[in-house]
Structure 1
Amino acid sequence: MVPRVEPSSFRPATPTRPLMLALAALAVLPSLANAYSFSFGSTPQQCQNLTIDITGTGQPPYSVLLIPFGPSTLPNNVEVRKITQVNFTGDATSASFQLKYPTDSQFVLVVSDATGFGSGGTSVAATVQGGSNDSSCFDASTNVAPLFDFSVFPNNQLVQCATTRVWWQPDNASMPVFGTPQFHGVIPGGQSFTVPEGPLSTVVGEGLGFNWTVPVRTGTTVLLLGGDDRGIGTAGSGFYIVAQGSNSCLNTTSPSSTPGSPAGGSYPTTTNGAGTGGSSSGSHTNVGAIVGGVIGGVVGALTLGLILFFIQRRRVQQHAEKERPVDLLQDHDRESDDAHPPQYYEPEPFLVPDPTAASSAGSTAPYGSSTPYGGLRPSVDRRASHISGTTAEGSSAAAFLRAGTPDMSASGSSGTRKSPAPPTFRPVNIIQHDDAGPQEQGQEEPETIELPPAYTNIRRAEVPPPESPPPEPEPAPRVPSPPLA
C-alpha cells in the first residue's frame, strides 16, 4: 500500500535523504506492480444480483464487504440491512451475489485480498436504484440485530490522537462472543484499516476491552466495525466523525481519504442514477488524473488572472475618464498647443455713459435764481463720472468746477428776461488713478481726479492718458486806489 505523503511531512534535504528516498521508491515498486482495484459489473438494485469485478493484479482469494450507510428508507425506520461479507471462489476475479438492500438505501463496499483488509480500496456511499419490485429478500417488518454489542469511551466519539477505550461484555448470555473480537475502521472513499488491539483489561462498568489511539485526522468520517470468529461486522458498526485533537500521532501512514476518484469505478451515488466515475485503490495512484487536474487548474488560474487583469484595467480607465476636468466654456482638447486664453476671458474696458445725459437730471431751478452757484443745485449722487478732456462739455465742466462761485452780477440776466436756458452741470469729483500712467514732472494737481484704470498692463501698445487742462490763473486781487489829496 502506497503511503500518502502530506505537505507537512517534507523537510529540508540532508546528504543522506536522497538515498533514503530512492530506497523507499524501490521498496514501493513491488506494491505498485501488484496494485489492483474493483468495479461494479451491474447496477445495484433491490433484491437483484450485483456483480463485482477485480481489475489489476492482486493476491487471491478476494473478498468484498457490504456495509450499510445512512438511515433506513423503509417505513418506521425498520432496518433490514446487514453487514455482509462475500468471498470470491478460488482465484476468481469476479463475484455475483444478491443485494438484500431496499431501494434508495446506501452502502459502502470494501474489497480485500490475501495481503490485508481494504487493500483493493473503499467506495463512497453507493445508492440502490429503483426498477425492481422484488422485495422477497428481506422482511420489511422486522429489524435485524448484531450478534453482540461493543461500545467506545468517551461515549459516541472519536478524537484525533486521543486514547479511546473499545470494550464489550464477554459474559453476555444473550449475545455471546466467539473468540477474540476484531475491529476495523472504514473511511468511505478513502482507506480502510484494522484497529490494533492492545492488552485487554477489565474495567468496572465497561467490561473487557483495550485502549486505542485514534490516528485519523479531524473531520474524517469513520465507520467502526466489530466482529469475532463468525466474521467481520457481526457486532455491527458505529458512525463517527473524528473530533479535533492533538497532532502527536499523525504521520505519513495515518489513514485518510484518498485524493482523486474513489475506488469502484462508475456506480450510482444518488437516487436519480447520478454517480461517480474512475477507479482507484489503496495502493494505486491515478497519475493521469492527477496530471490532468494540475494542468487544468493552472490553465484555469491563468484564465481567471487574465480576466481579472482586463477588468481592473477597464476600471482604471473609466476612473481616469471620470476624473478628467470639463471645460464648460471651451469644447476643445486640453492638450492643444494654443496657450492663449479663450476669447471669453479677454478683458473689456468699462464704458461710462455720456455725462451730459446724466447731468440732464440736475437741478430744475431757473437760471439766475437765488440758488447758490447760479441755480446749479448740487446733486446728492456722488458717484464718479467719466469726463473726456477732449470734449467741449468736459472742458466746460472742468472749467466750471475750477472757477468757483460765478459772478451773479456779470450774468446780466433778470427774472423777467427770457433767454435760452444754459446747460446745467452736476458737480463731480475726478480722481486720477496711479495705474493710468506716471504724472508729468512739475504739474500741479489742483484737485483729486478719479478715472477708471487704463489696463495698460494687458495692452500691446501703451496709450498715454489724456492730459488734464492747465488750471486757469486766479484773478489778481483788487488793490484799492489811494485816496485823493
Structure 2
Amino acid sequence: MLSLLVPLLLVNTARAYDWHFADSPTQCQNVTVNISGDGGKPPYRILVIPYGSTTVTHEVRVIKDIPFDGNANSLSFKMDWPKSSQFVAVVSDASGFGTGGTSIAGIVQDSDDNSCYDDSQNVKPDFYYSIDPTNSLVQCQTTRIYWDKSTVQGTPQYQGVIPGGDSFAIPAGTVTDESGLGTGFDWTVNVRTGSTFLLVGGDDRGNGTAGSTLYTISGGTQNDDSCINSDSPSSTAGSPAGGAYATSTSGGGSGSGSSDDNSGGTNVGAIVGGVVGGVVGALALGLLVLFFHRRKRGNKHAGEKPVDLLVGDEGDEGPGRSELPQYYEPEPFIVPDPTVASDSGRGSFEGGRPPSQVLSDGSAPMTSASRKGPRRELRPVNIIQHDDAGPSEAPHHEEEPETVELPPAYTSVRK
C-alpha cells in the first residue's frame, strides 16, 4: 500500500494563492470561502463536486460552479446538500482551472434545518458523456471521451480533479465523429497509477453540467510510465487546500496543521501507524499462542507415566525390592521319565539287578504323561548288563531292538 502512496506524495510547485472555508459546511447553512495571497488573478470561482454516497437513497446533490463577484476575495453560498454528504471543492482564477488547489473529501455537518433541499428530486446531468475503454482509466494509455453533440450547448469541456491534489483542464484534442463512439477526442491519461480521480464534464452552461465520475487510475498490464514526469498531476504533500473543515460527522477534519492528508482525506501517518501496529500486534499474538501451545504440550508429556504391561490390577501386592516379579521367576527343568519297557511291557536285561526305571514286576513306572492320557505303546529296548565292559551279542528279533549299554555291576569283586 505504501508503494502506491509514495509516488502520490510528490511535491508540486507552490500555489500562487490560497483559499479556505471560514467554517465547516453545514446542512442548509451559508458557508464562506476566503482567498488569501496576492498571486491570484480574479475573478475567482469555486467548483463543489459530490463525492461518495449520501444518506438520501437517490442523488439530490447538484454540482456547484459558483463565480466570485468581480474582484472579490470572498464568497458565501448556501450548502443545500443533506447532512453527511461528502464533497470536494476546487478553486480557480482567471489564469486557469484548479490554480488554487483542491480540497480533500469534506463532509456536510448536521443542522436542525432541512428545508433547503427536496429529498424527492433525482438530479440528472444536462447531457451525458462516455469513455472508451469503458469504466477504466489506465496510466499513459489513450482514452476517448465522447458525447452526443445534439445534447450539448456550445463546446464541451472536461476537467480532471484529484482530491487533495492537482486539478486541471483536460486538453481537448482534435474532435472527430466516429461510428458508435459519437463525437469526441482522444486523451492520454498522464495521471499516476493509484490516484483517485474525478472526471468532470460540462459545456457553455457551466462546469459540471454533465456530472462527474469517480475512477482509480490503473497501471494496466504494461505498466507504461512514458508519459509521467515531475509535472504530471498527482496528490500533493503538505496541507490540502481549503484550510480547516470537517471530514467526518464527529467534527474532526482537516486543518492547516495537517501535513499528510492524501487524496481520500485519510492521514498517511495514521495509515502507516495502523499497518505497523497491526503487524506488530499479529506477531505478538502469534508468539503468545505459540508459547502457551508449547507449555501445554510440555505439561502433557510431564504428566504421562510409562505403562507397565506386566503390572497386575490395582490391589495386587507387588514383589518387594529384592524379589523378582512372578513373570520373571526361574522354573526348574524336569527331565522326563525314560521309556524302557519292551514289546511285552516288561524290561529285558541280563544279570545284576534291574535299573531303577523298571518296576519289580517288569513294567515301566507310571509317569505324569501316562497318567494324563491313554498309555502309548513303547518301543522294544534291550538292556545289557556288562560284567567286563565288553560288548554283548544282541538278541535276534524281527525288528532290531535298540541296545542300551550299562556299566559293569562288579558283583564278583564284592564276593
Q: TM-score of the superposition, structure 1-length normalised?
A: 0.51
Could you tell me how far apart the structure 1 residues matched to 2:304 and 2:260 are?
65
- Structure-2 change in CA distance of 1:100 and 1:233 (3 Å): same
Could you tell me how far apart the structure 2 residues matched to 1:56 and 1:477 are?
153
For residue 167 of structure 1, what is the amino acid of its counterpart? Y
Q: Match of 1:395?
A: none
Please list the CA deviations of residues 324-364 of structure 1 after superposition, one character each: whole Å capped at 9, or x if unmatched: 6955489xxxxxxxxxxx958978984769x9xxxxxxxxx
- Structure-2 change in CA distance of 1:181 and 1:320 (3 Å): same
Residues 2-401 of structure 1: pairs in structure 2 closer than 5 A: 31-32=13-14, 36=18, 38-39=20-21, 41-45=23-27, 47-52=28-33, 59=40, 61=42, 62-69=44-51, 77=58, 79=60, 81-87=62-68, 90=71, 92=73, 94-103=74-83, 105-113=85-93, 116-118=96-98, 119-124=100-105, 126-127=107-108, 129-135=110-116, 138=117, 146-155=125-134, 157-168=136-147, 172=150, 175-177=152-154, 180-204=155-179, 206=181, 208-216=183-191, 221-240=196-215, 242=217, 245=220, 246-249=222-225, 251-252=228-229, 253-256=231-234, 264=242, 265-269=244-248, 273-274=249-250, 277-279=253-255, 305=283, 308-309=286-287, 311-320=289-298, 322=300, 326-328=304-306, 343=321, 350=329, 373-374=359-360, 377-381=365-369
SS of the aligned residue for 1:117 comes to coil
For residue 409 of structure 2, what is the amino acid of its counterpart? P
User: Does the aligned pair in 2 maintain the 1:220–1:257 contact within 8 Å?
Assistant: yes
Percent of aligned positions that are identical: 35
Give the CA deviation at 1:109: 2.0
Give the CA deviation at 1:97: 0.9
Which segment drifts farther, 253-262 or 182-191?
253-262
Could you tell me how far apart the structure 2 residues matched to 1:213 and 1:344 are?
99
Could you tell me how far apart the structure 1 residues matched to 2:323 and 2:256 are?
83
Gaps of 5+ in 2: 309-319, 335-356, 371-382, 384-405
SS of the aligned residue for 2:368 comes to coil
Give the CA deviation at 1:144: 5.4
For residue 224 of structure 1, what is the amino acid of its counterpart? L
Could you tell me how far apart the structure 2 residues matched to 1:142 and 1:295 are?
43
Give the CA deviation at 1:41: 0.4
The structure where strand makes up a greater share of residues is 2
User: Does the aligned pair in 2 maintain the 1:60–1:91 contact within 8 Å?
Assistant: no
- Structure-2 change in CA distance of 1:317 and 1:200 (3 Å): same
User: Does the aligned pair in 2 maintain the 1:147–1:176 contact within 8 Å?
Assistant: no
Give the CA deviation at 1:221: 4.7
For residue 378 of structure 1, what is the amino acid of its counterpart? M
Q: Match of 2:351?
A: none
Could you tell me how far apart the structure 1 residues matched to 2:17 and 2:283 are?
40
SS of the aligned residue for 2:197 comes to strand
- Structure-2 change in CA distance of 1:67 and 1:313 (3 Å): same
Could you tell me how far apart the structure 2 residues matched to 1:73 and 1:307 are?
39
Give the CA deviation at 1:197: 2.0
Q: Match of 1:475?
A: 409
- Structure-2 change in CA distance of 1:42 and 1:343 (3 Å): same
SS of the aligned residue for 2:184 comes to strand
Please list the CA deviations of residues 213-240 of structure 1 after superposition, one character each: whole Å capped at 9, or x if unmatched: 1234566553322234553223433444
Gaps of 5+ in 1: 10-23, 331-341, 356-370, 383-403, 405-471
SS of the aligned residue for 2:254 comes to coil
**Which has the larger Rg?**
1
For residue 49 of structure 1, what is the amino acid of its counterpart? N
For residue 251 of structure 1, what is the amino acid of its counterpart? I
Please list the CA deviations of residues 147-197 of structure 1 after superposition, one character each: whole Å capped at 9, or x if unmatched: 555443345553443322223455x4x7431xx432101234554332122
SS of the aligned residue for 1:196 comes to coil
For residue 59 of structure 1, what is the amino acid of its counterpart? G
The alignment covers a number of residue pairs equal to 335
Please list the CA deviations of residues 367-422 of structure 1 after superposition, one character each: whole Å capped at 9, or x if unmatched: xxxx952588422249xxxxxxxxxxxxxxxxxxxxx9xxxxxxxxxxxxxxxxxx
The structure where helix makes up a greater share of residues is 1
- Structure-2 change in CA distance of 1:206 and 1:50 (3 Å): same
Could you tell me how far apart the structure 2 residues matched to 1:279 and 1:152 are?
36
